[in-house]
Chains A and B, each alone.
Chain A
Amino acid sequence: MSESPIPEKTPQPDIMLPDPKKLILSASPHIQCADTVPGIMRTVLICLIPPAAASIYFFGFHAVRILLLTTLFCMAFEWICCKLAGKTSTLGDYSAALTGVLLAMNLPPGVPWWICLIGAFIAIVVAKAIYGGLGQNPFNPAAVARVALLVGFAGPMTAWVTPCQGFFPDAEKAPAAIQVHETERKPDFTTGATPLSLAKMAKTPEEIQALQTPDLLKQCFFGRTQGSLGETSALAVLIGGIALILLKIISWHIPAAMLGTTLIFTWIVSKADPSLTPGPLFHLCSGGMMLAAFFMATDMVTSPTTRRGKLIFGSSIGIIACVIRIWGGYPEGVSFAILIMNALVPLIDRICYKRPFGWHPSSAAAYTMRRGEVK
């Protein structure tokens, strides 16, 4: 055995071996991507910076006040709900903060603080916590809150502050953006109608045409029109929205389907009857269309999971929103459209059921026959 090819056992004290007691046992896969739910929510919040900054630029102190109030109220309600339910606080997933900012984006700049409170209550408690919290809500919390406030508090919810009145608005310096209603007492701010309500009131082709001047369209696109915080500048929302798509937080399907159908639908209607409604550019840039397309309708929890489902969902929202805008009782119908389609998401998911790899009619028949066998 002296010629053994077995190497002599040389002491190798420097070799460190793993301590088996410290090894973690778990099922595969053993690696996961770095994305987390708080990470996604945080990214959406960051992408909301351009529209939020635009709202502060155009509405000054009002925007700051509403952004802070709704965010704080939403987070407070989230915390209270978690306490009441005996759960650990879910503030850390940023979803409440995101709902708060989105709610602010959906409020007119002139609303009093208690509207923010009620809105936050509806969004967090009624629309989310009651259903079981993040991931369980069938309806978009911010859209529910906006619609509830719009129906319940029509007065404060149409306090459309005229933009660009300085950081602490002073009525005397206010430029007349579109149409300024003089109030009787010395006002905190001046208000005016949104482009959409003007479109609603317009009766003649000339009035409609007046809404389509390049000047006004430019204002709608860059800002300076009356509207909710997130509605005034389509450009800012577009920047944030494209960032969301580039960061792969949302896919392009819902925004593209929504804006695409809006474009085609309003183009057809405005061509067919020019006295009915302005053209597609007006509809795309005014109101909450951009905000809804990129930030509201794309809410993962309340939108379909398959690509085909997203296309159906987005285009349906576009059509419903335009129908409400053109023929409905409200000047703006995007939030209503989102809620209607939210309710149909389970159905859409069912219709857009993906056929598994290797699906074949015979395999489907086999599975249908077997259905209910395993109890």
Chain B
Amino acid sequence: MSLPPHVARFTGGIHPMDGKGLSNGITARTAPLLEKYLVPLHQNIGAPPKLTVTKGELVKKGQRIAEPGGFVSVPLHAPTSGTVGNLTEVPGVAGNTLQAVEIISDGKDEWGSGLDPIVPWQEADRKVLKQRVADGGIIGMGGAAFPAHVKLSPPPEKTIDTLIVNGAECEPYLTADHRLMLERTEAVLEGAAIAARILDVDRIFIGIEENKPDAIAAMKKAADAYGIQIVPLPVRYPQGAEKQLIFAVTGRAVATGGLPMDVGCVVQNAGTCAAIRDAVVEGHPLIERYTSVTGTPVVHPGTWIFRIGTPVKEALKLAGGVREQPAKLILGGPMMGFAQSSMDVTVTKNTSGILLLTGRETGRYLSSPCIRCGRCVSVCPMRLLPGPISVMVECENYALAEHNFVMDCMECGACTFVCPAKRPLVQHFRRAKAEINAIRRARKKH
């Protein structure tokens, strides 16, 4: 049946200060109900959902408030019962502005999702299960925000034989997946089993970094019942990057420019699996998630279960505020998260952490010329040449940058982390990728 997993070592990677000790020992708490939630419409990759409720309408908790805007899209659900308020705008994570709908709580928090539990799911039709994942509004909760049902619908010409659950959580500071795997072990495993049934695979692996021994132990204890294998992974950033995770668990390397399905794998985040289980077994769509509120300036760091649409300001109040003025407010982890300039941003389906960093921790350096030390080259998990490529981008020689595989850069930031000259390498690559994509699109039009 399934072969025992072997852990392959990807080349490169870094060991940043992990900071997980701030919050990894604290049981996740459910955030108290707020008076008002601001649910951004466009949280997923793909088409934005279309609002289906109007102002003043009464909604129940979990009731659908927006239709998917296409196949690569998801519906939205009310985080609590109450009244639909104004259609307003909230700042988006990436510095953009998002349309958001207000849900004013009536305090009753009554369920009314209209989704019936599918039990036993083992006997349910695959299509029904997949439709439920789509109806549950589930997107990649590790940060990518890619609709989960699309990942579970590989084209028929691709044979999928492995489902990998990503519990690596290699980003420093974040402990949301850690707490989730510890506290909702069965939910993660059951969700993974449901996803495997949708995909019709029997090889299921859960990759967890070895810095979460308690989560590994809990998972190992319960995993046999589901036929799932737990793979402890060496602690190295970016161990949780999709291609690196697949390589570590299966030894298969996704070809440059390829997708995981090319090597027969589908990767889902641990949080996504728990959400899939809730949608199928409980009939509860995705309206809340585990999110770490952490960082040295935070008075009471920890992990909370927040409703989608909770403003970051409220989340920070729950954590007791800050001890000192932080230099950065980051949604996500310190390596790939987004710095914010407003506290009105909201917790969305892919907010894995709210992180505050002091000026000392972030450090602001002036960049100086490359001294060709080669550290970026040795840490790049994609085995690219970050330093030389950054010079190509500075010279706006995108053709040469593309030829040097800049499009394979996953923006993990390892090169920028180690650069002694403090060169903004990843930033150059983002620019190059955007420019090259624009050139490719323009060429397609002709």
Docked-complex contact A5 and B257, CB < 8 angstroms:
no
Residue numbers in B under 8 Å from A4 (CB-CB):
107
| A24/B362 in contact, CB under 8 A | yes
Question: Are A6 and B356 neighbours in the complex by a CB distance under 8 Å?
Answer: no
| Contact assessment for B372 and A300 in the assembled complex, using a CB-CB cutoff below 8 Å | yes
> Given A29, A133, A307, which contacts B417 in the complex, CB threshold below 8 Å?
A29
Is A180 part of the contact surface with B, judged by Cβ < 8 Å?
no
Measured between beta carbons, the chain A residues less than 8 angstroms from B357 are 30-31
Partner of A305, one of B106, B325, B337, B385: B385
Contact of A32 (CB < 8 Å), options: B381, B417, B439: B417
Q: Given A30-B357, A356-B382, do A16 and B337 touch, yes or no (CB 8 Å)?
A: no
Q: Is the CB of A357 within 8 A of B256?
A: yes
Contacts of A33 in B (CB 8 A): 14, 16, 417-418, 420
CB of A20 within 8 Å of the partner chain: yes
Max chain B Cβ within 10 angstroms of own Cβ: one of A31, A362, A371: A31
Residue B117 is within 8 A (CB to CB) of chain A in the complex:
no
Contact (Cβ within 8 A) A31 B107: no
Say yes or no for A272: interface residue by CB 8 A criterion.
no
Closest CB-CB distance, A123 to chain B, in whole Å?
16
Q: Say yes or no: A40 contacts B430, CB within 8 Å.
A: no
Find A30's partner among B256, B362, B408 (CB 8 Å cutoff): B362
**B420 touching A37, Cβ below 8 Å:** yes
Q: Judge if A86 is at the interface, Cβ distance under 8 Å.
A: no
Chain A residue, CB-CB nearest to B430: A27
Q: Does B405 contact A (CB under 8 A)?
A: yes
Given A29-B426, A37-B371: A371 touches B399 (CB 8 Å cut-off) = yes
> Chain A: how many interface residues by the 8 Å CB criterion?
65
CB–CB A31/B373 < 8 A? no
Fill in one digit per residue for A1-30: 1 if any B CB lies within 8 Å of its CB, else 0. 101111100001011111110111111111
Closest to B370 in A: A135
A172 interface residue per 8 A CB criterion: no
> Using Cβ atoms and an 8 Å threshold, which residues of chain B touch A39?
420
Contact B339 A16 (CB under 8 A): no
Given the interface pairs A18-B326, A357-B381, the reply to whether A374 lies near B334 with Cβ below 8 Å is no
Residues of B within 8 A of A207 (CB): none
Tell me whether A25 and B339 are in contact (CB under 8 A).
yes
- For B377, give its contact among A354, A362, A371 (CB under 8 Å): A354
What's the nearest-Cβ distance from chain A to residue B45, in Å?
Answer: 18
B326–A374 touching, CB < 8 Å:
no
Please report the total number of B residues contacting A with Cβ < 8 Å.
96
Task: Output the least CB separation between A370 and chain B (Å).
Answer: 7
Residue of B nearest to A30 (CB): B334
Contact of B370 with A28 in the complex, beta carbons under 8 Å: no
B241 to chain A: closest residue by CB: A357
Q: Is B327 an interface residue (CB 8 A)?
A: yes
Does B326 lie within 8 Å of A37, measured CB to CB?
no
Query: Is A32's CB under 8 angstroms from B419's CB?
Result: yes
| Contact indicator A40/B373 (Cβ below 8 Å) | yes
Give complex CA distance A363, B109 in Å: 53
Cβ contact of B426, chosen from A24, A28, A135, A354, cutoff 8 A: A28
| Distance, CA A187 to CA B374, complexed state (A) | 49
Interface residues of B in 133-176 (CB under 8 A from A): 172
Partner of A7, one of B32, B337, B369, B422: B32
Find the A residue at minimum CB distance from B443: A373
**Chain A contacts with B in 344-360, Cβ cutoff 8 A:** 349, 353-360
| Chain B residues within 8 Å of A6, by CB | 32-35, 105, 107
Q: Is B343 an interface residue (CB 8 A)?
A: yes
A7 to B314 alpha-carbon distance, docked (Å)? 13
Query: Can you give 18 A-B contacts (C-beta < 8 A)?
Result: A6-B34, A18-B316, A22-B327, A24-B328, A25-B340, A27-B424, A28-B413, A31-B363, A32-B416, A135-B371, A135-B372, A354-B383, A358-B253, A358-B255, A359-B255, A360-B256, A362-B255, A367-B256
Interface of B toward A, CB cutoff 8 Å:
10-11, 14, 16-17, 32-35, 95, 105-107, 109, 172, 243-244, 247, 253-258, 297, 299, 313, 316-317, 320-323, 325-330, 332, 334-343, 356-357, 361-365, 368-374, 377-378, 381-385, 387-388, 398-399, 402-403, 405, 408, 411, 413, 416-422, 424, 426-427, 430, 436, 439-440, 443
Known: A4-B107, A18-B356, A23-B340. 20 other contacts (CB 8 A): A7-B32, A15-B320, A15-B321, A23-B329, A27-B424, A27-B430, A31-B172, A32-B422, A135-B369, A305-B373, A306-B377, A353-B385, A356-B405, A357-B256, A359-B255, A363-B257, A370-B403, A371-B399, A374-B436, A375-B439
